[in-house]
């Protein structure tokens, strides 16, 4: 009997010789051995056409993004990427789509030495589900995984990189606002090809008291970190606004402040890290940022009272609500 279409398809686009894995694609299970003393960090994300990406999205960048959002979860835990599985539902077996998808996926995977070890393909409405595995040092070294639950009153609150571009691009592509072509291209790159902050996450091992990745919007995701830690926070609106990539380039559109504030505070799809660290480690945090070539900005501090307060330049509490993106809203 000849291998049938499904198996051909998998082999042609996704099968490569195992590197670190003991058993890779092609058996009932993959077999993986974490480094001695290390624990395994695991996360899964499902991307659905029309919900997480445009149905006609460039398959190359879709391959990139599907892995990037998973690597971003590893980054938030300070884990070193090891391997991932890919389950893919496709309306039809389409080489012209699969070839660039696989190229985009593997380009990012190779950049992080993260190996595809298994998967499943089936016919169905386009759906991409990746489960990623990384490793974190055991409890004896550097405190293990970064968790959401370690923030303590008095800690500084930081955010990596810049925020808001992904949401600006989405709003422009869906006709809710207008951007000059060059700005749209820059913003769209953040939407289509997010950069998981893997190096920063690892550099923050032993420094950050808590961390989370920003997928659904700054305020909503930071609230999850606060909830897990049983604390509150004061966030300075001006410091948050300074995270905007928008406005840094000559020729950027003039947009109203409420639009910009909404983009930076609850835009979503940023895939930056928010994290906390004691003020005594400010220099060490900046060294970690430099080592990982990832700028970080201090935007507030952790409070003992519950709740996230957004403060204006005069220290007054702003009361606008910026809800987090909810996949069932």
Q: Rule CB under 8 A: which of 188-247 touch a copy of itself?
A: 211-213, 219-220, 223-224, 227-228
Q: What number of residues does the chain have?
A: 329
309 is a contact residue toward a copy of itself (CB under 8 A):
no
Report the distance separating Cα 169 and Cα 187, nearest Å.
5
The answer to whether 184 touches 172, Cβ cutoff 8 Å, is yes
Using CB under 8 A as the criterion, what x/- string covers residues 131-170 for binding a copy of itself?
A: x-xx-x-x-----xx-xxx---------------------
CB of 329 to a copy of itself, least distance (A): 6
The residue within the footprint of a copy of itself, chosen from 13, 14, 18, 30 (CB under 8 A), is 30
CB of 187 to a copy of itself, least distance (A): 24
Report the distance separating Cα 269 and Cα 201, nearest Å.
18
CB of 79 to a copy of itself, least distance (A): 6
Stretch that binds a copy of itself, among 87-95, 105-113, 161-169, 283-291 (CB under 8 A): 87-95
Report the distance separating Cα 116 and Cα 255, nearest Å.
42
Nearer to a copy of itself, 121 or 202 (CB): 121
Tokens of 255: 């947009």
Residues of this chain, 110-129, that bind a copy of itself according to CB under 8 A:
117-125, 127, 129
Tokens of 326: 């909810």
Q: How many CB atoms lie within 10 A of CB 72?
A: 25
Report the distance separating Cα 23 and Cα 19, nearest Å.
9
Measured torsion, CA atoms of residues 91, 325, 180, 97, in degrees rounded to the nearest 10: -20
Tokens of 236: 């300075």
Number of residues that bind a copy of itself (CB under 8 A): 82
The residue within the footprint of a copy of itself, chosen from 9, 66, 207, 264 (CB under 8 A), is 9
320 is a contact residue toward a copy of itself (CB under 8 A):
no
279 is a contact residue toward a copy of itself (CB under 8 A):
no
Nearer to a copy of itself, 69 or 245 (CB): 69
Report CA-CA distances (Å) from 312 to 188, 248, 287, 298: 30, 21, 29, 15
């Amino acid at each position: 009997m000849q291998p049938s279409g499904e198996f051909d398809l998998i082999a042609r686009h996704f099968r490569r010789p195992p590197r670190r894995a003991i058993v890779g694609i092609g058996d009932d299970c993959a077999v993986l051995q974490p480094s001695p003393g290390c624990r395994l960090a695991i996360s899964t994300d499902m991307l659905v056409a029309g919900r997480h990406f445009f149905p006609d999205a460039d398959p190359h960048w879709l391959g990139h993004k599907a892995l990037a959002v998973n690597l971003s979860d590893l980054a938030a835990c300070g884990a070193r990427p090891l391997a991932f599985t890919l389950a893919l539902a496709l309306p039809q077996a389409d080489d012209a789509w699969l070839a660039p998808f696989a190229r985009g996926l593997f380009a990012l995977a190779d950049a992080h030495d993260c190996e595809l070890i298994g998967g499943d393909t089936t016919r169905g409405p386009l759906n991409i589900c990746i489960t990623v595995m990384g490793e974190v040092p055991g409890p004896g070294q550097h405190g293990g995984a970064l968790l959401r639950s370690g923030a303590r009153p008095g800690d500084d609150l930081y955010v990596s990189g810049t925020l808001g571009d992904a949401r600006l691009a989405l709003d422009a592509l869906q006709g809710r606002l207008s951007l000059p072509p060059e700005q749209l291209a820059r913003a769209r790159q953040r939407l289509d090809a997010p950069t998981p902050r893997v190096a920063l996450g690892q550099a923050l091992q032993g420094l950050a008291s808590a961390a989370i990745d920003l997928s659904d919007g700054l305020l909503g995701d930071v609230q999850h970190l606060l909830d897990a830690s049983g604390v509150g926070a004061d966030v300075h609106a001006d410091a948050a606004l300074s995270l905007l990539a928008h406005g840094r380039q000559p020729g950027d559109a003039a947009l109203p402040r409420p639009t910009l504030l909404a983009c930076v505070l609850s835009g979503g799809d940023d895939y930056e890290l928010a994290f906390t660290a004691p003020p005594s480690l400010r220099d060490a945090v900046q060294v970690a940022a430099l080592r990982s070539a990832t700028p970080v900005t201090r935007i507030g501090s952790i409070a003992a009272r519950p709740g996230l307060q957004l403060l204006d330049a005069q220290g007054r509490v702003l009361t606008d609500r910026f809800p987090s993106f909810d996949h069932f809203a």
